[in-house]
Amino acid sequence: MFVLVNLKTYPCDPVAVAEAVRDVDESTDARLAVAPQATHLERVADTGAETWAQHVDPIDHGSNTGQTLAESVADAGAVGTLLNHSERRLKLADIDGAVRAAEHAGLETVVCANNPAQIGAAAALGPDAVAVEPPELIGTGTPVSQADPDIVEDAVDAAQHVDRDVSVLCGAGISTGDDVVAAGDLGSEGVLLASGVAKADDPTAALEDLVEPL
């Protein structure tokens, strides 16, 4: 299972969370990674934790003020990037361009989507993985695997129908090890989560709880 912790812009210590991710990753068969803000990428990567960006833009070097270049993200130490998170939506053509930009920079890609129909469309763009995240459940503590397990199963079916090489993750409301197990039982190969770790008083304990049942 792949556990990707999105720090969003939460007021946490990104280095401390990254160190927790690194340490717990070394003690489990699960794969753990962390996605800090762009300005924190290099410091987080320096901890040795697997580091992902939260976003890259569909651009090349040039006149792109205020945008995030995939090559710069890779140079900072990131190995992958999220795309089209519900808090950073993109048009389909821009998702396609961002996937291509990330691939050119050697970054893995996870494209987020709201529902199985969007998952199928995202999978057709050829990312490494897609992630189904109903936005109404994000940050609620109620996992999608519990609120509507059919969404996860249908998302897996939609992606596999388009491209069997595209992995499916699920997110929204993931906070416990039981949530991670339930996601796997529904066909997901990993989970996205944020507040369950980023807002935890003890990120290491929160991560250990997530992977303990695996």
Question: Annotated active-site positions, please?
Answer: 85, 133
27 is in an annotated binding site: no
Cβ neighbours, 10 Å, residue 117: 12
Is 138 annotated in a binding site? The answer is yes
- Compute the half-sphere exposure of residue 66: CA atoms within 13 Å on the CB side of its CA: 0
- 167 appears as a binding residue in the annotation: no
Whether 194 has a binding-site annotation, put simply, is yes
Contact 197, 14 (CB under 8 A): no
Kindly give the residue spans of alpha helices, DSSP state H, lying in the chain: 14-25, 41-45, 70-75, 92-104, 116-123, 144-147, 149-162, 177-185, 195-198, 203-211
DSSP letters, 9-34, are T-SS-HHHHHHHHHHHHTTSSSEEEE
Is 195 annotated as ligand-binding? Answer: yes
Sequence-distant (≥ 6) Cβ neighbours of residue 47 within 8 angstroms: 15, 18, 19, 22
Residue type, 70: A
Query: Which residue, among 154, 92, 162, has the nearest Cα to 120 in the 3D structure?
Result: 162
Specify binding-site residues: 6-8, 138, 173, 194-195
Specify binding-site residues for substrate: 6-8, 138, 173, 194-195
